Amino acid sequence: MTVYASDYADQLPRATYPDVFASTWADAIFGGYVRNQQVYDCPASDRHMDRFRGSSPCQTRFLRAEDGYPGVGYSYGINAMEPNHSLQPPIAVGGPAGKALPSIEDPSGTILLCDAGYDQHNTTDYVVRTGYPNLGDYRLEALHHEIDTERHGVPNRFNVGYCDGHARSRNYRRTIDPGLGVNQWTCSLRN
């Protein structure tokens, strides 16, 4: 992701792109930055990545769980939380997807990718976006539907990749606590 950003004026990939194929962050970095699609597959996940192959390279994209193919989907979702000023406390900036990497004030404390969840509440397995208007908020109850906290056999833990490139296993309850001022999901931007 950081190599992609360095080639695109320090911009991290967006969650989705406004093309006719609804390309995602995984489509944007595949080929030029990722040569083997298996890096998108978590070995502990029951889903795997597969590509729809169109009649030209620009029509090729990764399939998502919402496309309806059994066992096909994203293992990891990009953090694309949207600003939502109606929440308390409000989400002023949102997640790092599509933001300029140098403008993120705390890249080592801001989640970029994580184990994505998929259930009846979340059919967009390629993105984590609680806080999106009308889809919920960024409290633990809503976040739990968008991440997979059972995949690795330790309750309430999931793997995360941060904006600075490091990764670790986390208890999801410790990634956000508005009462304690902890929020690793939304970023503050430098001036």
The predicted structure's pLDDT at residue 33:
85
172 is in which domain, residue-wise?
A: 2-183
In a domain, residue 48? The reply is yes
In a domain, residue 191? The reply is no
Q: How many domains does the chain have?
A: 1
In a domain, residue 190? The reply is no
Q: What is the mean pLDDT of the chain?
A: 80
In a domain, residue 23? The reply is yes
In a domain, residue 20? The reply is yes
Whether residue 140 is predicted with pLDDT greater than 70 in this model: the reply is no
In a domain, residue 171? The reply is yes
Mean pLDDT of the 101-122 span? 84
Whether residue 182 is predicted with pLDDT greater than 70 in this model: the reply is yes
pLDDT (tens digit, 9 = 90+) per residue, 117-132? 766 555 677 888 765 4
pLDDT (tens digit, 9 = 90+) per residue, 90-103? 677 788 999 999 99
- DSSP letters for the chain: -HHHHHHTTTBPPPSB-SSTT--BHHHHHBTTTB--GGGGS-TT-S-B--EE--SSGGG-EE--GGG--TTBS-SEEEE-PPPBTTSSS-BSS--STTSBGGGBS-GGGSEEEEEBP-BTTB--TTEE-TTSTTS--SSHHHHHTTB-SSTTSSTTEEEEEETTS-EEEEEGGGSEEGGGTEESSS--B--
Q: Which residue has the higher pLDDT, 53 or 155?
A: 155
